[in-house]
Amino acid sequence: MNYPSVLTSSMKTIISQKRTTICITAWLTKLSSFGVVVLTTLLFACDPPGNIGVTPLTPVGTIYTDTLTVRTSTVLADSVRTSLPDIYLAGRYSDPLFGKIEASAFMRMALEFQLNLGEEAIYDSLVLYTPYNYTYGDTLSTQTLSVHRLNEDLDAAKNYYNNSSIGYDATPLATQSFQPKPQSNGLLQFKLPDDLGRELFALSGKTAGQTNTEFYKVLKGFALIPGSENTAVVGFPISNRTLNLRIWYHKTTDATAVSFPIYANLGTDAGTSVRAGFNRVTADRSGTALENLQPLVPVPASSTGNRTFVQDALGIRTKIEIPYLKSLANNGPIAINRAELSLKPELSAIEPGLNMPPYLVLLETDATNRIYYGALGYEAIVNNDASAYSQVPDPQVALYDTKFKNFTWFLTTQLNAMITDYKKTNSFLVAPVYTNALGQGGTRFQSQMNNRVSRLVMSGKPEDIKLIVFYTVARE
């Protein structure tokens, strides 16, 4: 059921809705697992007693509160998986709050078709095309990127992380200096050495040009490495096969140039996964409020100027705890009828080129501060309210509300599951995403998370963190 936001309604409207309700009192706090699953259906089916023709067996009261303690802190993940991203990152910039950030991309190129150019083919050139649509940092200065040849294999079956590394040749194949266009699309074309071009061209009709297994023995892939004076990170999407390597050639009978494409995002070849790549993203936080941030050790908002921090590929997340949630049941069994959590970002932390991410999600966690994974192997992102008990992911994505200047999540079913111990997780981690259609088509979420450097500062002031709860108490 979709509701208008409580936060956008007047208090007068809220109070006028208070009434005694009955929802078959068998769902009270000490429920079996089955009872918990049924709870949501019962809650959403509530009607006044007169409407359903049942005499109340137990007096029931509905209570509203917005004073539950919400505790926030900053947590650094112990590892951030950046394998198989939907975008490759390369660049560096300096951030007064988050430190010096550097990103490099490592990718494998794969054959979609067998390399058979024919006897009449004549080699022309080899070009790597890298379109970009994401920038972060100061784009007024000239940026430099170099393409290097990998000398170590990428493994499609291996997980790579933001601090992973892989070998590449020190001498670049090509270098480009450019001024990226913020908030728009651009394209870099790296003309690679003819020695490499002729090496690949010579594979036409040969064994190494027929299968990816053999092709990788010749070309392991590329690294995109930023220049030392760069001031921005640039993102190169791999969707629609736009990031590709092309062997340009012509025929002896026709001077028209044609090309043979080799892709960075080919998923499978004859049923075998061939796509491999990752982003290496590191930070030097010396001299910042996050200088002493350690993996999985929460830093309270009170220790960082009453604010908390979020940064995607670096694994910095804001942890949210509701330590006294179960105290609502001190006066008898309860069920939560409505719950909304609202968080305000610190807008003063936004600087030119350092915008906050457009969408946020809540990841389930507990005292370990690690992301919880569900039974199907997906990251446990808090579902939309109507799907909270489902094992099938239906991620609830919060969009920044420009009117109320906050992000809001509906947590009715989630908090019911927590208060009845149906869910063993009891806290959340705030993480950015970049689409409000997260995980459509049954995809895993990793490619849509952990692969930007966008950052966010959250206010830790009590007035900027609101948890509004309507709950029903059964009188014993």
In whole angstroms, what is the distance from residue 256 CA to residue 250 CA?
A: 6
Residue 53 pLDDT greater than 50, yes or no: no
Asked if residue 382 lies in contact with residue 423, where contact means CB atoms within 8 angstroms, the answer is: no
Nearest to 173 by CA among 135, 139, 125, 236: 125
Taking residues 45-65, report their average pLDDT.
Answer: 51
Structure confidence at residue 449 (pLDDT):
76
Residue position matching structure tokens 């489902």: 390
The mean pLDDT of 283-304, rounded to a whole number, is 97
What percent of the chain is predicted at pLDDT more than 90? 67
Residues 296, 66 contacting (CB under 8 angstroms): no
Which residues, in sequence order, are CB contacts of 10 under 8 Å at separation 6+? Answer: none
Pure H helices in 212-322:
212-218
Length of the chain: 476
Cα→Cα distances 68→62, 164, 259, 322, 424, Å: 16, 41, 63, 7, 20
Q: Domains of the chain: which residue ranges?
A: 65-77+295-470, 87-284
Per-residue model confidence (pLDDT) at position 446: 59
Instruction: Note the maximum CA span of the chain.
Output: 93
pLDDT digits (tens, 9 = 90+) for 238-269: 887 889 999 999 999 998 999 999 999 877 66
Q: Show the tokens assigned to 41.
A: 């259906």
* Whether residue 45 has pLDDT greater than 80: no
Instruction: Give the confidence band of 54 by pLDDT, cuts at 50, 70, 90.
Output: very low
pTM of the model: 0.84
| pLDDT at residue 391 tops 90 | no
Residue 15 scores a pLDDT above 60: no
Q: Would you place residue 18 in the very low, low, confident or very high pLDDT band (cuts 50, 70, 90)?
A: very low
- Least confident window among 41-45, 217-221, 380-384: 41-45
pLDDT of amino acid 228: 97
Q: Which residues contact 462 (CB under 8 A, 6 or more apart)?
A: none
- Quote the pLDDT of residue 441: 45
Specify the pLDDT at position 181.
87
- Count of CB atoms within 10 A of residue 296's CB? 11
The whole-number average pLDDT for the span 355-361 is 93
pLDDT for 46 beyond 60? no
For 89, the 3-state DSSP assignment is strand
User: Shortest CA distance to 473 belongs to which of 329, 350, 346?
Assistant: 329
Within 10 A of 77 (CB to CB), how many other CB atoms are there?
20
Q: What is the pLDDT of residue 390?
A: 67
Q: Quote the Cα angle for 77-238-191, to 5°.
A: 115
pLDDT tens readout for residues 80-98:
999 988 899 999 999 999 9
Q: Which residues pair with 60 in a beta bridge?
A: 474
Residue 264, SS3 per DSSP? coil
Q: What is the DSSP string of 138-156?
A: --SS-EEEEEEEB-S---T
Looking up tokens 């981690």, which residue turns up?
429
Considering only CA atoms, which of 343, 314, 347 is closest in space to residue 454?
314
Tokens standing for residue 403: 């009117």
84 secondary structure, DSSP code: S
- The conformation of residue 447, written as its DSSP 8-state character, comes to G
Position 439 scores a pLDDT of 60
pLDDT at 268: 66
Integer angstrom CA distances of residue 377 from 82, 174, 327, 368, 371: 17, 40, 32, 18, 12
Q: How far apart are the first and last CA of the chain?
A: 30
Arithmetic mean of pLDDT over the chain: 85
* Residues of the chain above pLDDT 70, percent: 82
Average pLDDT over residues 6-14: 34
Mean pLDDT of 36-63: 44
Centre a 10 Å sphere on the Cβ of residue 8 and count the other Cβ atoms it contains: 11
Q: In the prediction, which pLDDT does 291 show?
A: 96
Of 9, 25, 22, 79, the C-alpha closest to 278 is 79
Give the tens place of pLDDT for each residue, 427-460.
999 999 887 776 654 445 655 678 899 999 999 9
How far, in Å, CA of 15 to CA of 9, rounded?
Answer: 10
pLDDT at 340: 97
- Exposure string of 215-232, with b = 16+ CB inside 10 Å and e = fewer, is bbeebbbbbbbbbeebbb
Measured at the CA of 138, the angle between CA 133 and CA 140, to 5 degrees, comes to 90
For the cut 50, the answer to whether the pLDDT of residue 48 exceeds it is no
pLDDT at 476: 59
* Conformational region of residue 83, where left means phi above 0, alpha means psi within -120 to 50, and beta covers everything else: beta
Q: How far is it, in rounded angstroms, from Cα 302 to Cα 308?
A: 9
**∠ CA 450-451-456, rounded to 5°:** 70
Residues in Cβ contact with 421 at an 8 Å cutoff, skipping those fewer than 6 apart: none
